[in-house]
Amino acid sequence: MGSPSPRDKHVALIGYGLGGAAFHAPLIDVTPGLRLACIVTSNPERQREARQRYPDARVLESADHLWQHAAEIHLVVISTPNRSHVPLALAALNAGLPVVVDKPIATSSADARRLVSEAEHRRLLLTVYQNRRYDGDFFTLRRLLNENTLGVVLRFESRFERWRLTPKAGWREHADPDDAGGLLFDLGSHLIDQALVLFGPVTHVYAELDRRRPGVHVDDDVFVALAHASGVRSHLYMSVLI
């Protein structure tokens, strides 16, 4: 990263697990015009890792401490477990700060609309972090569509698949709806977002959500069919048993 500029936008990152450490902090750190000013994590080991990797960033134990320094921050990025996305985003907006929230932005459409309404009321930026819009294959497909190289598209098929026979510990395997665990919320949010970007609004949805591994409590094998208003049909697959 180059030398900080007084005109850099100061970014606070809430959450320093896999998402914060691998997907957010490094990108903020190398983006011209941005400065990683604050990292919020209550985990002592992650605090040490954050201080070692980003010595110029202030490391805080909780978001409550962050709001006390709101005047020094220009943007908040939220990369925490799903159930905390809405309360943290609302707190950031109430502190007068624009927000980028990891996907899924909320565990229900009602909560998502609540966030949008609050951001519009306060005239603040609110957006969802969708890093899969920057994948090379997605860029290539958008270019081919824009160039009309493929002609008339009738059906789009896309998959995110992996082999994970043994469930990992953590909230993503929890059945509590507030955790928004399972593959549909995790990988499905990427696949559905890509389909919407490519082919526009959807009029009809069909889905199959299954639990294939013994003892699991959330969907781990999913198929989603989208009928776009444009006439295209998207068939989207996600599984941990491929």
CATH number of the CATH domain containing 34:
3.40.50.720
Q: So what's the pLDDT on residue 2? A: 47
pLDDT, tens digit (0-9, with 9 covering 90-100), for 56-85: 999 999 999 999 999 999 999 999 999 999
* Listed residues 129, 147, 175: the one ending a domain: 129
The model's pTM: 0.90
Q: What is the CATH number of the domain that holds 215?
A: 3.30.360.10
Q: Which residues pair with 34 in a beta bridge?
A: 9
- Domain check: are 168 and 111 in the same one? no
Residue 90 is assigned to a structural domain of this protein: yes
Residue 149 is assigned to a structural domain of this protein: yes
Q: So what's the pLDDT on residue 174? A: 84
- Domain check: are 29 and 99 in the same one? yes
What is the count of structural domains for the chain? 2
Q: So what's the pLDDT on residue 86? A: 97
- Domain check: are 109 and 77 in the same one? yes
Residue 110 is assigned to a structural domain of this protein: yes
Average pLDDT of every residue of the chain: 94
Q: So what's the pLDDT on residue 12? A: 98
- Domain check: are 93 and 147 in the same one? no
- Domain check: are 145 and 102 in the same one? no
Q: Rounded to whole angstroms, how far apart are CA atoms 219 and 221?
A: 6
Residues of the chain with pLDDT under 70: 1-6
Sheet holding 155-161, edge to edge: 155-161, 233-239, 221-228, 202-210
Residue 29 is assigned to a structural domain of this protein: yes
Residue 92 is assigned to a structural domain of this protein: yes
- Domain check: are 87 and 54 in the same one? yes
- Domain check: are 123 and 141 in the same one? no
- Domain check: are 119 and 214 in the same one? no
Q: Give the domain range for residue 63.
A: 9-129
Residue 3 is assigned to a structural domain of this protein: no
- Domain check: are 118 and 221 in the same one? no
CB 53, CB 45: distance < 8 Å = no
